[in-house]
């Protein structure tokens, strides 16, 4: 009987190695190093170069060389110091109110059983569709000299025999700016607090109650401390948005804010660069100074959270059941949420009414002329905004998914540094990025001249929204088993094919969420693009602001309705494309 060969049991016999393992990645997967090189080029050209150019411009002397004369002039002039004090004061107060309002809405929706919680969840997100200057404009229609509220008050006082009203709303000034910016940005804080409350293990609160802790003690010592990381992150983002806001301070704060007759840093930087002075060096100086408070907030947050643990997710599923809370607290929160929800609805309705009203505050006869004027004068701006926002959002979402894939699946030396630099646009005020682009691509390097073109607008849109795409992609990839891609590689798929045909379809929800976020922000952005627009490439947001500034309120309202309608249409199409499962668009 023939003997069957048996594999030798000698462990000292050297087995042949796979040739593939000995080949360097640059030869095995040439597309990977080429992609990494592309990401490095994008980061260097669109992040490092604009930031460095702006910093150099702030210290560049007109006759050549370097100087700190502009910084000396800033801190030595009371007017400029007042702009800094106004920025810090308005931003600080608006941030505090936004945090308080955000945690009230989040706590009401997640930790109580008050009625209309679903209604509050929907309404609180509406301001994210509206630019801050549009909300400031709506407040003028509501609380301005001829606003609905003041007209109603005058009629009421006349009815009871007073020739002049004893009280009127005054939306102009620091508190009007704070109200407009709070309504614009507090949903950011709401989303962060809601996510933190949803992730926190409610059994900690149950345990405190079982041990005899009162509601207030549990709230103070258990619930609120667990929100510390969300509060720090929200504080940084909210302060950055409030400090760099341009629209609301320019529209409502022209007569001065808390200190002197000065405004805030962002409007002043735009006046310095685009106004009669045309002092781009001073504008760059103001932008650099504006970065300092945001950096301070970031470092303060890192210090506060250092060496502290807030982990409560143990892997054991828990379901939160709203527990009994004091009646006064429950209905007090309901009143706050209901009042601000009505104010948000009023903002939208008053803009809609202003678009079809003859002359706001004078004649409320219905008319179509504002829409006719808007569509006639701003047809190209509408087309430009949709085209550039769509291109920029699509690019930011695609690049974000690709960078996330490289960072997580194909790590390389220096990946953390590159990832950190990629996040810088997310932490820099929009005005800083816009001014940096205007300076970097204005011809200082002839090969990179893009001033007045659509490219500079698209690239600015792209780089400012790219970080969200990266973070969204990284979060999704952590939930996808790498063995799926490894199986594709074992079957002979190269990395490019595997990414396009295997990974990207699994990232559809994250990709669409990044696209929606980017498109919404690009349609409503003005702080950055105001430095980049040209007569050929006008944008809808800039046309709306110019109409408000010229007191053409009917046209501004009509353009605003068009902007909201276009944004909602894109959201609807994206929701359908996602199979009606996209979380960012769900109730």
Place of tokens 């909201």: 564
184 falls within a domain? yes
483 falls within a domain? yes
- Phi, psi (degrees; rounded to nearest 5) at 365: -65, 145
* Coil, helix or strand at residue 358: strand
560 falls within a domain? no
Judgement on whether residues 41 and 125 belong to the same structural domain of the protein: no
402 to each of 195, 217, 407, 467, 584, how far by Cα in Å?
26, 47, 9, 12, 21
Per-residue pLDDT tens listing for the chain (587 residues): 444 444 444 444 444 444 444 555 555 566 778 888 888 998 899 999 998 999 999 999 888 788 999 999 999 999 999 999 999 999 999 999 999 999 999 999 988 888 998 899 989 988 988 888 889 989 988 888 778 888 788 788 777 777 677 677 788 889 999 999 999 999 988 988 888 887 776 677 777 777 877 878 888 888 888 888 788 878 888 888 888 888 889 888 877 789 888 889 888 888 888 877 788 889 899 989 988 887 787 777 667 666 555 444 444 445 556 667 888 888 999 999 999 999 999 999 999 998 998 887 778 888 999 999 999 989 999 999 999 999 999 999 999 888 888 888 888 888 888 888 888 887 778 888 889 999 999 888 888 899 889 999 999 999 998 888 888 888 778 777 777 777 877 777 777 777 778 777 888 878 888 888 889 888 988 888 888 998 889 999 999 988 988 888 899 999 999 998 988 888 888 777 766 555 444 43
Judgement on whether residues 392 and 351 belong to the same structural domain of the protein: no
Q: Which of 537, 557, 572 represents a domain boundary (last residue)?
A: 537
Helix axes 174-199, 132-143, angle to 10 degrees: 120
Residue 34 belongs to domain spanning: 29-60+387-537
Judgement on whether residues 157 and 275 belong to the same structural domain of the protein: yes
Helix axes 69-76, 49-59, angle to 10 degrees: 70
The answer to whether the CB of 269 falls within 8 A of the CB of 287 is yes
Helices H / strands E in the chain, number of each: 30, 2
372 falls within a domain? no
The answer to whether the CB of 382 falls within 8 A of the CB of 508 is no
pTM above 0.85, yes or no: no
Judgement on whether residues 52 and 72 belong to the same structural domain of the protein: no
Judgement on whether residues 276 and 250 belong to the same structural domain of the protein: yes
Bridge partners of 359, per DSSP, are 363
Judgement on whether residues 461 and 332 belong to the same structural domain of the protein: no
Number of domains in the chain: 2
Judgement on whether residues 456 and 521 belong to the same structural domain of the protein: yes
CA 246 to chain centre: 14
Q: Is the dihedral of CA 249, 464, 575, 565 positive or negative?
A: positive
19 falls within a domain? no
Q: Which tokens belong to 295? A: 């950096």
| 533-538 LR contacts (CB < 8 Å, sep 24+) | 533/457, 534/451, 534/452, 534/453, 536/452, 537/384, 537/388, 537/452, 537/453, 537/454, 537/457, 538/378, 538/380, 538/381, 538/384
Judgement on whether residues 260 and 346 belong to the same structural domain of the protein: yes
Q: Please report the pLDDT score of residue 316 as a whole number.
A: 47
Q: Please report the pLDDT score of residue 89 as a whole number.
A: 94
Question: How much helix, strand and coil, in percent to the nearest 5, is found in the chain?
Answer: 70, 0, 30
Q: Please report the pLDDT score of residue 317 as a whole number.
A: 46
Judgement on whether residues 51 and 72 belong to the same structural domain of the protein: no
Q: CATH number of the domain that 423 lies in? A: 1.10.3720.10
544 falls within a domain? no
Q: Which tokens belong to 447? A: 């090969």
Q: Please report the pLDDT score of residue 100 as a whole number.
A: 94
Judgement on whether residues 119 and 55 belong to the same structural domain of the protein: no
Residue partners of 332: CB distance under 8 A and separation at least 6: none
The answer to whether the CB of 54 falls within 8 A of the CB of 432 is yes
575 falls within a domain? no
Judgement on whether residues 273 and 420 belong to the same structural domain of the protein: no
- CA atoms of 252 and 179, how far apart (whole Å): 10
Judgement on whether residues 95 and 37 belong to the same structural domain of the protein: no
375 falls within a domain? no
């Amino acid at each position: 009987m023939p003997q069957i060969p048996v594999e030798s049991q000698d462990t000292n016999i050297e087995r042949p190695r796979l040739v593939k393992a000995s080949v360097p990645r640059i030869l095995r997967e040439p597309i990977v190093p080429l992609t990494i090189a592309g990401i490095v080029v994008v980061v260097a050209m669109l992040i490092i170069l604009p930031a460095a150019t702006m910093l150099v411009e702030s210290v560049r002397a007109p006759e050549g060389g370097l100087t700190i004369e502009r910084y000396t002039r800033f801190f030595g002039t009371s007017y400029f110091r007042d702009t800094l004090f106004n920025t810090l004061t308005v931003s600080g107060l608006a941030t505090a109110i936004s945090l308080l309002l955000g945690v009230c809405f989040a706590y009401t929706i997640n930790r109580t059983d008050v009625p209309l919680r679903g209604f509050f969840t929907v309404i609180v997100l509406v301001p994210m569709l509206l630019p801050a200057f549009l909300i400031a404009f709506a407040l003028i229609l509501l609380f301005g000299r001829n606003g609905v509220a003041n007209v109603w008050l005058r009629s009421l006082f006349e009815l009871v025999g007073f020739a002049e009203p004893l009280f009127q709303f005054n939306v102009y000034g620091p508190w009007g700016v704070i109200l407009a910016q709070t309504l614009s940005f507090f949903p950011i804080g709401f989303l962060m607090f809601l996510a933190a409350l949803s992730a926190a293990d409610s059994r900690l609160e149950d345990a405190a109650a079982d041990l005899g802790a009162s509601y207030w003690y549990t709230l103070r010592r258990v619930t609120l401390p667990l929100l510390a990381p969300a509060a720090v992150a929200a504080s940084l983002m909210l302060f950055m948005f409030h400090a760099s806001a341009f629209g609301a301070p320019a529209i409502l704060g022209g007569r001065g804010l808390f200190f002197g007759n000065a405004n805030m840093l962002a409007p002043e930087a735009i006046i310095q660069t685009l106004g009669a002075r045309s002092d781009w060096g001073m504008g760059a100086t103001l932008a650099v100074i504006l970065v300092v408070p945001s950096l301070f907030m970031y470092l303060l947050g890192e210090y506060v959270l250092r060496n502290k643990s807030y982990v409560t997710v143990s892997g054991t599923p828990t379901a939160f059941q709203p527990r009994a809370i004091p009646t006064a607290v429950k209905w007090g929160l309901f009143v706050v949420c209901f009042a601000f929800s009505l104010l948000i609805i009023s903002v939208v309705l008053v803009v809609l009414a202003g678009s079809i009203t003859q002359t706001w505050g004078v004649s409320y006869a219905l008319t179509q002329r504002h829409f006719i004027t808007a569509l006639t004068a701003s047809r190209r701006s509408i087309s430009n905004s949709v085209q550039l926002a769509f291109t920029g959002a699509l690019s930011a979402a695609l690049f974000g998914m690709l960078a996330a894939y490289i960072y997580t699946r194909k790590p390389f030396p220096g990946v953390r540094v590159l990832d950190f630099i990629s996040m810088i646009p997310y932490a820099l005020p929009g005005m800083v990025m816009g001014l940096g682009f205007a300076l970097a691509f204005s011809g200082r390097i002839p090969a990179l001249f893009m001033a007045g073109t659509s490219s500079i607008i698209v690239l600015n849109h792209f780089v400012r929204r790219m970080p969200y795409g990266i973070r969204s992609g990284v979060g999704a990839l952590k939930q996808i088993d790498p063995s799926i891609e490894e199986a594709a590689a074992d079957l002979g798929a190269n990395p490019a094919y595997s990414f396009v045909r295997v990974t990207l379809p699994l990232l559809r929800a994250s990709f669409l969420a990044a696209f929606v976020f980017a498109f919404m922000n690009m349609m409503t952005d003005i702080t950055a693009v105001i430095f980049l627009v040209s007569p050929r490439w006008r944008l809808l947001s800039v046309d709306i602001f110019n109409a408000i500034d010229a007191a053409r309120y009917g046209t501004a309202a009509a353009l605003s309705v068009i902007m909201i309608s276009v944004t909602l249409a894109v959201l609807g199409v994206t929701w359908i494309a996602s199979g009606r499962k996209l979380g960012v668009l769900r109730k």
